[in-house]
Amino acid sequence: MIVKVGIFGATGYTGVELVKLLSRHRQARIVFAHSESHAGARLSDVLPCPYDIPLLSADDVPLQAADLIFSCLPHGPSAELCKRALDEGRRVIDLSADFRLRDATSYARWYGHSHPYPDLLKIAVYGLPEIHRSAIAHAQLVANPGCYPTSIILGLLPLLEAGALTDPVIIADSKSGVSGAGRKASLATHFVEVNESLSPYNIGRAHRHVPEIEQALGALWNGAPAAPLRVIFSPHLLPISRGILSTLYVRIKPVHEGWTELFHCRFASEPFVRVLPEGQIASIAHAAHTNYAVLSVHPVADMASYLQIISCLDNLVKGASGQAVQNMNIMFGLDETEGLR
């Protein structure tokens, strides 16, 4: 079986990474690649890559030729083209934030405009295979998770499912490479501004990934409803191209032991979550250029009610295009790891 796929927004960093992953995939074939600003050119002329693929404008893409559409566009424009593809009966994986929040009110507050297609929020499946694998398999529309949320949710999932947290406040100190900011010119991503520095930004619960994280983790929180789960999320811009590391701080029931073992058990059958043995510490190098989320779990000496988790991934792979391919594999009944090892 060959899945025929189309790509909206092929000239950004997630777009090119997706092309790269699909070009290695034995059961997928790219039937079109879209770029509005570079329509008429070929991908290999726009970026330093070997993919000699023609780029089409949105009006010219053969939607019907594709079984599946990936959208790598920014939020806003992405919703429009996803809608068009869905109307044509295509299945869609949207890598933007447009269909991640279930609540249209929350979307409006965080993204500054009301959601154009709130009905689609009801059918969209949040594409984190480690939680929603079976729903993904049958989804018409998959909302591919954000990069930071993937790292943070996977890093806390076993604890929340086990009811091990004693405090609804989670501290997530996250650090990301610059490709997470997208491929457009800005002073904030100028080499000299980023290099040899580290810059916190949107701290104090100001980042748009806060509601996405709280939506996913809040659904698993079994504490008092009067004290809902809250994440203090502090993103920092790292002077590297790709990779995310989240350092997570939680309060836990100190009676429990064997935290690493708990994580090992939870993820034993997950093909793309790697829990390091006790004594090893995850780093971005563990995950870069792979589809793995790599975790390590750390008790705090003399402070039995605290636990630290380090969660790493490549923001362009498990944090975006790799997870999208994983979702495609699930949606079309393929080996979940095809094209991703």
Site residues (CB under 8 A) for a copy of itself, limited to 245-284: 245, 247, 249, 274, 277, 280-284
Contact assessment for residue 76 and residue 98, using Cβ atoms and an 8 Å cutoff: yes
Q: CA 106 to CA 155: how far, in whole Å?
A: 24
Contact assessment for residue 182 and residue 117, using Cβ atoms and an 8 Å cutoff: no
Q: CA 282 to CA 151: how far, in whole Å?
A: 12
Contact assessment for residue 293 and residue 340, using Cβ atoms and an 8 Å cutoff: no
Site residues (CB under 8 A) for a copy of itself, limited to 166-195: 169, 171, 173, 175, 177-179, 183-187, 189-195
Please pick, from the candidates 146, 243, 319, 322, the single residue that binds a copy of itself as defined by CB under 8 A: 243
Residue with tokens 């490549």: 314
Q: CA 325 to CA 318: how far, in whole Å?
A: 9
Residue with tokens 């249209």: 104
Q: What are 312's strand-pairing partners? A: 245, 294
Residues 6+ apart with CB under 8 A from 59: none
Site residues (CB under 8 A) for a copy of itself, limited to 201-230: 201, 203-206, 230
Q: Is 147 a catalytic residue?
A: yes
Site residues (CB under 8 A) for a copy of itself, limited to 34-73: 45, 48-50
341 binds a copy of itself (CB under 8 A): yes
Please pick, from the candidates 37, 114, 199, 337, the single residue that binds a copy of itself as defined by CB under 8 A: 199
- The count of other CB atoms within 10 Å of the CB of residue 131 is 17
Please identify which of the residues 72, 82, 147, 312 carries the catalytic annotation: 147
Shorter beta-carbon distance to a copy of itself: residue 126 or 263: 263
301 binds a copy of itself (CB under 8 A): yes
Shorter beta-carbon distance to a copy of itself: residue 41 or 219: 41
Which string of x and - marks every residue 305-324 that binds a copy of itself (by CB under 8 A)? -x-x-x--------------
Shorter beta-carbon distance to a copy of itself: residue 3 or 194: 194
- Residues identified as active-site: 147
